[in-house]
Structure 1
Amino acid sequence: MDRFDAMRIFARVAERRSFTLAADDLGLPRSTVTDAVKQLERRLGVSLLQRTTRHVAPTLDGEAYLRRCLAILADVEEAEGAFAGAKPKGLLRVDVHGTLARHFVLPHLPAFLATYPDLTVQMSEGDRLADLVREGIDCVLRVGVPQDSDMIVRRVAMLAEVTLASPGYVARHGMPASLEALGDGHRMIGFHSTAIGGVLPLEFTVGGAVREIVLPAAVIVGAAESYVAAAQLGLGLIQVPRYHVAAALRAGDLVEILPDHPPTPTPASLLYPRSRQLSPRVRVFIDWVIAEFAAADRR
């Protein structure tokens, strides 16, 4: 095994904190991965990894060597991709907020893969901020403002938000003509946010300022699809990105409430590790996502 392959194996073990997961990622037997790291340590004359029955972590020497390995591996990948006609290839791991995946990413993914036929996209869905390095994920696409993140954040869009209720809810409770009218028996559907560890208040803009209002809630959910479904059943007011409910608005299943006082727009962002140089496959994915959101604004 040459030095480049050994560096690639060590880097994956160090990032994944696991010989088994690294072997799965690279499509190699675990014994091959273990032997490659041992040979690398013998050649360098240092211990690169601390090993226990449950945990694998880089030593101080391992951390320093990992940084050099990642830079070298990225340079080699970029150099190979610089030749005319060369296109990124390999496995791209992304984690995408579910509704963004279904509305913005998946519908246009066939065209992306047609452009880069040697790429394989492994997409997971979530709303937490994944530990990219530990979980082997290349980048994530999220809504909202990332909290306490040491990753690089690329804003891709500001998503217009809307306040909604079902026609049945409006028939029972009336159409509020002002924010003050919300206090006359109106209810909201609570959305439990993992980011704040509680229920999000309703948010309205008034003369450029933001006003938060909390209404009684008989139902609290933690998933976007359930949030919209509960509103369609007439259980209360909700606030979501307009794109998410465009079809329901057109069909009349939901109606807009207080359009003169919309919630503030919600950012959508791509995040990737600060410690890594961008590989060509990650770079083309990021550029493609940014272009798709820009095109969606023009549609």
Structure 2
Amino acid sequence: MDRFLALNVFIRVVEANSFTRAADSLNMPNATISKTIQQLESHLGIRLLQRTTRRITVTPEGEAYYEKAREILNALEEVDAAFKTSTTNIKGHLRIAVGGSTARDILIPLLADFMAAYPDICIDLAVADKPSDLISGNIDCAIRGGVLEDSTLIARKIGEATLITCATPDYLRRYGTPAYPDELKNGHRLISYLSPASGRAFPFRFKHNDILTEMKTEHHLGINESNAHIAAVEAGLGIIQTFTYSLRNQLASGEVLEILRPWRPASYPFYVVYAQNRHLPHRLRVFVEWLNDAFSGAVK
């Protein structure tokens, strides 16, 4: 039995909570994963996992072994990182979760610089507006905005985006240009962004003289994906609130116009989040540091 491989397999099964997902992430057959776990349990003389047709449960002994195994692998990665003096020696895979419009408008245009600096790091982007579970999804880090709910993750603020209220000139000719937020309730067509997690519409938010207000009003169109949300305002279907970075070119050309500027919503924070490991893999550390420098200026 390859002890090092067995540690990696066991850790991946626990973190993915699935033999199949562990096999996919390690690019190994399911049968090899199962056999490796059986060999490890036989070698230790203890049961690490309780397996049924529906779920995997980590035994108390398995939990203790997982903590020790994770410490060992983290320490090995730290030793490797300490002796790497060139960025070309930093290698491996990074799996990054990011929302649709943030991937399209911010992260992907920036990635060329990172990939040129670290050519041996391979990146997989998990693009979806619904927040991913980092552990079960085998995700190294995620870019998230707004209020963070998962307190078990490390969160590092990487920038603040400007939110605006906007519509096309054609829409404003047809329905009029509101001078105050309350006028949105009178005959205007609102395009709401729906939470991909809950399905509820995010309210339109405004800030004026340091006073924050929320407007919960009936929308004419609700969309739960950020790229489609942007496409709807470009099509002249109504008024939206979104990030300036998503409509930078359209605002510059006049295809979309900002309205209610004195009531711009408060800035929207973005974070990079990752699991609470004592030692970050070197490839993740350099990505987080690079993102901290590059992201802030791009979202303004």
The 4+ residue runs of structure 1 with deviation greater than 6 A are: none
Instruction: Give the match for residue 42 of structure 1.
Output: 42
Map residues 240-255 of structure 1 onto 2, 5 A cutoff. Answer: 240-255=242-257
Task: State the TM-score, normalizing by the size of structure 1.
Answer: 0.92
Which runs of 5 or more residues in structure 1 are unaligned? none
| CA 41–244 in structure 1, closer or farther in 2 if over 3 Å, else same | same
1:25 pairs with 2:28: no
Secondary structure of 1:134's counterpart equals coil
Aligned residues: 298
* Residues 70 and 276 in structure 1, CA contact (< 8 A), matched pair in contact too: no
Instruction: Give the match for residue 276 of structure 2.
Output: 274
* Residues 104 and 292 in structure 1, CA contact (< 8 A), matched pair in contact too: no
1:180 Cα shift?
A: 3.9
Q: Report the aligned-residue RMSD.
A: 2.0
* Residues 13 and 22 in structure 2, CA contact (< 8 A), matched pair in contact too: yes
* Residues 165 and 256 in structure 1, CA contact (< 8 A), matched pair in contact too: yes
| CA 188–4 in structure 1, closer or farther in 2 if over 3 Å, else same | same
1:186 Cα shift?
A: 2.5
1:170 maps to which of 144, 169, 172: 172
1:100 maps to which of 99, 102, 124: 102
CA distance, structure 1, for counterparts of residue 243 and residue 45 of structure 2: 56
Cα deviation per residue 1:36-70 (whole Å; 9 max; x = unaligned)? 22222122221111111232232111111111111
Instruction: Give the match for residue 227 of structure 1.
Output: 229
Secondary structure of 2:261's counterpart equals coil
* Residues 94 and 140 in structure 1, CA contact (< 8 A), matched pair in contact too: yes
Amino acid at match of 1:22: A
* Residues 196 and 225 in structure 2, CA contact (< 8 A), matched pair in contact too: no
Secondary structure of 2:294's counterpart equals helix
1:104 Cα shift?
A: 1.8
Task: Identify which range, 18-27 or 55-64, moves more after superposition.
Answer: 18-27
Q: % of aligned pairs identical?
A: 38
Map residues 1-299 of structure 1 onto 2, 5 A cutoff. Answer: 1-83=1-83, 84-85=85-86, 87-195=89-197, 197-275=199-277, 277-296=279-298
* Residues 199 and 224 in structure 2, CA contact (< 8 A), matched pair in contact too: no
CA distance, structure 2, for counterparts of residue 22 and residue 216 of structure 1: 44
Secondary structure of 1:5's counterpart equals helix
Amino acid at match of 1:289: L
CA distance, structure 1, for counterparts of residue 271 and residue 13 of structure 2: 28
Task: Identify which range, 25-34 or 245-254, moves more after superposition.
Answer: 25-34
Amino acid at match of 1:85: S
CA distance, structure 2, for counterparts of residue 31 and residue 78 of structure 1: 31
Task: Identify which range, 241-250 or 99-108, moves more after superposition.
Answer: 99-108
Task: State the TM-score, normalizing by the size of structure 2.
Answer: 0.91
Secondary structure of 1:70's counterpart equals helix
Which runs of 5 or more residues in structure 2 are unaligned? none
1:204 Cα shift?
A: 0.8
| CA 166–297 in structure 1, closer or farther in 2 if over 3 Å, else same | closer
1:181 Cα shift?
A: 3.5
